[in-house]
Amino acid sequence: MNMQESYMRRCLELAVLGAGTTSPNPMVGAVIVCDDQIIGEGFTSPYGGAHAEVNAIQQVLDHYGDEAATKLRQSIFYVSLEPCAHYGKTPPCANLIARYKPKKVYIACLDPFAKVNGKGAEILKNAGIAIEIGLLEQEALWLNRRFLTRVQKNRPYVILKWAESADGYLGKEGEQVWISNVASKQLVHKWRAEEDAILVGAKTALVDNPSLTVREWNGKNPKRILIDKLLSVPAEAAIFNDEAETIIFNALKTEWSGHNKYIELENYDWYLPQNILYQLYLMDVQSIIIEGGAKTLSLFIEANLWDEARVFKSKRTLDGGIKAPQVKGELKEIMKISDDQLEIIVNI
């Protein structure tokens, strides 16, 4: 690995530190190098706060005082995503970088958002700054797959999640059955903290009575999404507690009641997953875990509305029950979680 790749990889490492807090903004990391030394670095603050480039520059200003402007002019910047070129919650980062006129800016990948998409790079070029685009591009695109999906497909990034027995079953009809181990359960809570929303169907809510919160990891609770056509889940169910917002897609009513939001879908049985994802897109939900049972998972699989499947495979056998779903995609990764095997499959 050359030094340029090393610095950009550091940008990607920094960007991940914003997981679960930046949405609907992307996760971005920035590194400033002067005389082969990192003099400033940053990542995107929680939504509404400073972007990665601002935080990195501020670190240089704080540390070097009167010498900061000279240091920045002599520096090379590394950014994991094209600097923004528009006024949103904060001013354009491209303008800020251009003001200091560094020697060069490396950009891992362009930002497809219409108000940026090449405009940030153009601002830097027009300021006479050398730029290079594409350093560790594929890694950067994967890192921001949630943001890119929302911008390019007008829907959230969809993660399917389930645990299946060694003989290929999800559980027993009408029974709560634990298949995965304790370590896998904690990992799932970590995932919940990293995504915007988590969805189950009415049957799962009735049988398992899940709260769908982050209890075994530090982080925010995701929005809870319930598919309940006839509002069969009782008001005292854990999914309606006050620990998080719950959105209930149904065929009977639209009503706001505290942290519970009921949304009636017209023609409920037509294009249900498409309608749900579009409504969530309009609510700025950038990513969602589908954690429901076989019927709910199949809704999204059959509509080909999924991006990633995370499948825990247990050593335990059930000798019958509800068959686990099947997905066709590219096996990206296999890892051991204690005695479970986790497979990550991406839709291609």
Task: Verify whether residue 291 is a known catalytic residue.
Answer: no
In contact, 215 and 238? CB cutoff 8 Å: no
Return the bridge partners of 30, or none. Answer: 42, 79
The one catalytic residue among 53, 82, 164, 194:
53
Active site residues per annotation: 53
